Amino acid sequence: MTDIAAPASGLIRPDKDRFLSEDNPFEAMMQRFDHAAQLLNLDPGLYKILRNPEKQIIVSIPVLRDSGQVEVYTGYRVLYNTSRGPAKGGIRFDLNVTLEEVKALAAWMTWKCAVVNIPFGGAKGGVVCDPGTMSMAELERVTRRYTSGIIETLGPDSDVPAPDVNTNERIMAWIMDTYSMHKRHTVTAVVTGKPVEMGGSLGRREATGRGCMFVTREALARIGLPMQQARVAVQGFGNVGSLAADFLAKEGATIVAVSDKSGGLVNPKGLDVADLLAWAQEHRQLAGYPRAERVSNEELLTIDCDVLLPAALENVITSKNARKIKAKVICEGANGPTTAGADKILEEKGVFVIPDILANAGGVTVSYFEWVQDRGGYFWDEDTVNKRLEAIVTRSFREVVGLSERHKVNTRIAAYMLAIDRVATMHRLRGMYA
Ligand code: NAD
């Protein structure tokens, strides 16, 4: 822990009233940040620096629709902090994208990269659009025009996007191509989450779910519950949830409930995850699966289980349902599934929470491996990727738990303390350019 001067308490959150409600994502992040900053005795100057995004870009994206009409979309890219290295963070295409949300997600990425100690800062981007109503050609035009709008910030040494909500490998390939055409040479390391054929990393698709499995295994060992006796409920059966369920089942856990947008399934004796994966692949949803009872998404959260793995949405564990949760361990596969109000209740109940910035950091860790491989021009086999992921994630878990025990704080605040301290240390060592 670095020795940082005591804050003048009056300086903490001078503009708190500017922030809206508890489920405002930036507010949720700032509440945890403030708590950790106070415990760290963060210098007031550093506090001011770390609570403000470094750069916020807003672009208008004129695009020709297939109908011949022009539409203008709004795009954002926020670089929250780049003191530790190039900004890293996904790009989402969604009607609900707001600057406030992009700022919060960019800050989260800063802390997430610092928790696992990879040399990246944090960023996030988004375009306010409904990709469900767009043709492939329109999606490509939006992607390329947005990329050219933010091209000055992009680059392997400055800002490296990745997929997020409603964006995928295909879109990363278009960003890489647009950037490379401007640079007049191929630059694979400008994005991660690319197709493996064009410089993506083996193991990237599975990395977040695999990371969830590693940290759950560590948490179960801490509470003395063997994996073979652990009953797990998973909310969300997409990339993170379905793969986490699969990895945990392969480790010997019993998956008692899963859900997606179409509803939930339960079997206290255990669901056949391979069979569920095949069903979801064929039917694109869990609804209709015949070999389990149905359960609502709300019920799933409070079902009788040992591990709850929210891997779908923000703000699903709140002060309203936290008391009813029976799980001993919560592994936050999703970003921001637990509100700050619920944190306190879970702590009182003695639930072991593996916070999102640690639990789902497997994805950005293998993105880092992808960037390293692209820059080195030398690619690793999948086993090497998975072993290096396991080493980083389990080491980070132990660092967070060690800090939580030493400072007698919950694991989320310990993760923030670890992250903020690492970013603050970099600022202190670098000094201030004036
Ligand atoms: P995804 O789109 O592949 O899957 C989301 C799943 O959630 C789907 O099964 C969907 O049906 C389900 N869902 C949606 N609404 C629901 C509801 N109301 N109740 C229950 N389930 C619902 O997304 P993903 O990549 O798996 O991401 C899930 C979460 O994990 C997000 O919060 C994301 O930000 C976070 N995350 C993802 C990664 C990654 O590498 N994919 C990395 C870090 C964090």
CA distance 382 to 237: 23
Q: Which residues are catalytic?
A: 124
Q: How far is the CA of 238 from the centre of ligand 1 (A)?
A: 5
- The CA-atom distances, in angstroms, between 5 and each of 15, 32, 83, 312, 430 are 22, 20, 20, 40, 17
Q: How far is the CA of 424 from the centre of ligand 1 (A)?
A: 31
Q: Decide the pairing of beta strands 87-93 and 159-163.
A: parallel
pLDDT of the residue at 343 = 94
Pocket test for ligand 1, best of 94, 169, 191, 261 (most atoms within 8 A of CB): 261
Residue nearest ligand 1's atom 16 by CA: 261
| Average pLDDT per block of 10 residues along the chain, 434 residues long | 37 40 72 94 96 97 98 98 98 94 94 98 98 96 98 98 94 98 98 97 97 98 98 96 98 98 96 98 96 95 98 93 98 94 95 98 98 98 98 98 97 98 98 91
Pocket test for ligand 1, best of 235, 239, 315 (most atoms within 8 A of CB): 239
Residue nearest ligand 1's atom 8 by CA: 238
Q: How far is the CA of 139 from the centre of ligand 1 (A)?
A: 21
pLDDT of the residue at 21 = 55
Residue nearest ligand 1's atom 1 by CA: 238
Q: How far is the CA of 314 from the centre of ligand 1 (A)?
A: 9
